[in-house]
Amino acid sequence: MHRHQLAGLLACILFTCATGAAASDSLRVGNRVLVVGDSAATVSALLGKPTHKSHQGASRSGGRHGKRVRSVSASATRGEQWQYRRNGKVIVVTLVDGRVSDIDEHSR
């Protein structure tokens, strides 16, 4: 049984590493931290001008690589996604009513 537990643990670790995406409530930027609830002005101050901005719809699918991103609740339809490229990663900050509601980090 120990062998099966070890194999299961290894599979979980590999799956976690292979996904290449992480959603978080915070993002370290130098010696500062961006957190859910921060203002759009704080995002701009910490990360600068986004490389891309988009408005969210009721659902998101596709994207450049054809992967489903996520379904968005009806209350978040007025949100924006600000995309940044930093240190070999793509960071997507979702803003709703001028406040950070989600932070996603993806490997390129």
- For residue 73, the domain's CATH number is 3.30.1450
Does residue 80 belong to any structural domain of this protein? yes
Output the pTM of the full model.
Answer: 0.62
Q: Which positions ≥6 away from 68 have C-beta within 8 Å?
A: 60, 61, 62
Q: What is the pLDDT of residue 107?
A: 84
Does residue 2 belong to any structural domain of this protein? no
Does residue 3 belong to any structural domain of this protein? no
Taking a C-beta distance cutoff of 8 angstroms, is the pair 83, 51 a contact?
Answer: yes
Q: Strand locations in the chain, DSSP E?
A: 21-24, 26-29, 32-35, 52-55, 59-60, 70-71, 80-86, 89-96, 99-107
Q: Which positions ≥6 away from 19 have C-beta within 8 Å?
A: none
Does residue 5 belong to any structural domain of this protein? no
DSSP annotation of 65 reads T
- The domain of 55 spans 20-107
Confidence of residue 82 (pLDDT cuts 50, 70, 90): very high
Does residue 24 belong to any structural domain of this protein? yes
Q: What is the pLDDT of residue 55?
A: 85
Q: Look at the chain and report how many structural domains it folds into.
A: 1
**Residues 89-102: tens digit of each pLDDT:** 999 999 999 999 99
Does residue 9 belong to any structural domain of this protein? no
Gyration radius (Cα) of the chain, Å = 16
Does residue 39 belong to any structural domain of this protein? yes
**Residues 44-63: tens digit of each pLDDT:** 999 999 999 998 764 444 44
Q: What is the pLDDT of residue 74?
A: 44
Does residue 82 belong to any structural domain of this protein? yes
Q: What is the pLDDT of residue 108?
A: 72
**Residues 2-54: tens digit of each pLDDT:** 565 555 544 444 444 444 456 679 999 999 999 999 999 999 999 999 999 99
